[in-house]
Amino acid sequence: MDVVVERDEAACGATVADVFDRAVRSGARTIGLATGSSPLSVYRELIRRHREEGLSFAAVRAFLLDEYVGLPAGHPQSYAQVIRTEFASHVDLAGVSGPDGGSSDLSCAADSYDALVVSSGPVDVQLLGIGANGHIGFNEPGSALDSRTRVTTLTSQTRQDNARFFASVDEVPRRVITQGLGTISSARHLVLIATGEHKAKAVAAALEGPVTAECPASVLQRHLMVTVVLEEGAAKLLGRVRSGDAAGH
């Protein structure tokens, strides 16, 4: 595991963008995209490189981690729309696929999406954020470490955390379709970005605590190729990883 500690959000975004840049220019054909606040600096930097440095995604297909259940198509907070607004509409991606949160058969939609991700071959580079309770994707605490794409229910903490994107917490959907931890772990390279002191406890548990379903992000410890990019506040509770394995900048 390569852990990089950067001074601020912009530096984190540039470091993660370096990983995607190298992969795409080296022939990567599939990337995994995440939503939330932390990845935005990555998308801004990749858009800049596309416009100014010739970084092309024309041969690249993107897969989304998750989607809310029940939001109408085009809703500004549906993750398909967020990715379109923040990234996909600004670059030349070959295509973007995500779970169908509006399906009349959600279980079937989850199974179909999992099969699509698998049949498209391993995702070359998967971007991840981390929730304050240690979730990645929408795999809340208690999720099986080998779980597959499925319909699940958000915790009250996650709904409160995401309420800032809606008019009120009451508007935050209660259910989602998310890639499972097993699905996520099938990617060749996992890249986690975290910023802010409010993520420090979750980051420390994920990187230095036991591998347990109670901290879903701890599954990263089992993966052979992981890059973790942290803003200083998010890294403040790290001990051995930061002082030993980390490649701090």
Give this prediction's pTM.
Answer: 0.94
From first to last of its 249 residues, what are the pLDDT tens digits of the chain? 999 999 999 999 999 999 999 999 999 999 999 998 999 999 999 999 999 999 999 999 999 999 999 999 899 999 999 999 999 999 999 999 999 999 999 999 999 999 999 999 899 999 999 999 999 999 999 999 999 999 999 999 999 999 999 999 999 999 999 999 999 999 999 999 999 999 999 999 999 999 999 999 999 999 999 999 999 999 999 997 654 444 444
Residues 6+ apart with CB under 8 A from 48: none
- The question of whether 90 is a catalytic residue gets the answer no
**Domain count of the chain?**
1
Structure-block tokens of residue 110: 């989850």
Position 115, amino acid: A
Catalytic residue among 6, 45, 114, 140: 140
Single out the residue of 22, 31, 77, 27 nearest to residue 53, CA to CA: 22
Cβ atoms 230, 196 nearer than 8 A: no
- The question of whether 139 is a catalytic residue gets the answer no
- The question of whether 133 is a catalytic residue gets the answer yes
Count of CB atoms situated within 10 Å of the CB of 217: 30
Catalytic residue among 50, 100, 135, 139: 135
Catalytic residue among 9, 124, 133, 189: 133
Q: 115 is in which domain, residue-wise?
A: 2-245
- The question of whether 162 is a catalytic residue gets the answer no
Position 49, amino acid: R
Catalytic residue among 9, 66, 100, 114: 66
Please report, for the domain that includes residue 230, its CATH number.
3.40.50.1360
